[in-house]
Structure 1
């Protein structure tokens, strides 16, 4: 873990905060990607974690790429094959890790989510935005393409036509437009964003964690598999769910008309 990503756990919920506010939380030219990867690995190994919130420190969620790093790449100072390998061993590891994280991830978008910053939001399962949030798939404005998986992620969130409009124009939309286009599921006042994110995370964390993890995996697999294949996987996952202790507890609590207790909360 490093200071570019802050890791805080309260109960069953981890909050990851991109922490370079003076630079608007860029995703290149620093160690934010490494911080994310370390945090994701830690979460995967910690069964007490049931939900994750991703947000940015300061006024921005993430401005995307570091412009100084782009200047070095454009100058020819860095060779083409080195740039390619830099993507593969750097930013491109993030969508693979964050998108496939078993625990549900909520993006709490506090400000501008630009370029790779928007794509990081799309790697999450749920997106909620502050009224101050702005969104742009702005690579084309700098003569670039989405190098971090945005061309795969964004169409699956907003549909092909709207993703094409955002990608080909590079224009910026506000939080209300993002809500109308289903890029985010809700918009809240800036001072209520983290409260809303934590309330949503708490609702997720209150459910049996094995069922939530398996349901997320099925939803992710459904994006690129056939229905008959998904049904077979669902049947296998349902066996695991039926035989999990939390299923027995959930059924008993329902019959006894009491609140269920799933596992133990981790202290601050």
Structure 2
């Protein structure tokens, strides 16, 4: 049964779908794609939910328009104790839970591969957003910084959870506690990014990776991503039970027989 839904209407981002690859472009370059003080939280969450309900999507690419990937929080609002940062402890906490913290929950639940095409600086919550993807490809113009402590605040969007799982506790600790900003090459040596490209080659390289994944059988692709996410939080025996059931589902999917027959044809040549 095919299930496709119409694209959500976004305010501060653009969404396109081509060849089973959805591309979400953060489009508030006037504020360097800051996640606070814009509608980007709503746009990202709406896109994540749409991807899960649209069978025409096999990969989600996230990138930024303009010079930055995302500058994270709006520092001017912090200075004024305005916008997302106004009020007492309970008010600020509620705003985080109802605001920016919806991004990690939504992206963690996305059933297709997510590739971050990091076109420029990814700072603070922008760095954390990149780390919520499955794969990061960076332009040489990209910079990364877990800069919260420099401003006397903590990573409020889950950054401390994502980064240590990505690169290990010790290096994540050093980057978070120092608040230093690193370039794309250093990020690659730590395993934060998979590859670094020339700026003009970034989207072509990401497109190549995304297209390769998007040509795989779509239902098995989604099940595989779900298993990859489950693997880090389940005991082996329980995990294998889930694998057995997912495999039973795959063996009963028409896409499995199509793929097997295509392989047999290749072997016969």
The normalised TM-score by structure 2 is 0.93
Aligned pair count reads 258
The equivalent position to 1:215 in structure 2, one of 224, 230, 233, is 224
Instruction: Give how far 1:225 is off.
Output: 1.6
The equivalent position to 2:237 in structure 1, one of 222, 228, 251, is 228
Shift in alpha-carbon separation, 1:105–1:77, aligned structure 2, 3 A? closer
Unpaired stretches in structure 1, ≥5 consecutive residues: 259-268
The equivalent position to 2:14 in structure 1, one of 6, 26, 29, is 6
The equivalent position to 2:26 in structure 1, one of 18, 37, 44, is 18
Q: In 2, distance between residues paired with 1:51 and 1:185?
A: 17
Deviations 1:126-182 (A, max 9, x none): 100001110001100000111101111000111101000000000011111111100
Is 1:73–1:83's contact at 8 Å kept on the other side of the alignment? no
Equivalent position SS for 2:100: coil
Instruction: Give how far 1:219 is off.
Output: 0.8
Q: In 2, distance between residues paired with 1:77 and 1:216?
A: 38
Q: In 1, distance between residues paired with 2:155 and 2:103?
A: 13
Q: In 2, distance between residues paired with 1:155 and 1:63?
A: 21
Q: In 2, distance between residues paired with 1:69 and 1:206?
A: 44
The equivalent position to 2:201 in structure 1, one of 192, 205, 215, is 192
Structure 1 segments, 4+ long, off by >6 Å, are none
Name the counterpart of 1:180.
Answer: 189
Indicate the structure whose relative CO is greater, using CA pairs within 8 Å and at least 6 residues apart.
Answer: 1
The normalised TM-score by structure 1 is 0.93
Matched, 1:30 2:38: yes
Unpaired stretches in structure 2, ≥5 consecutive residues: 1-8
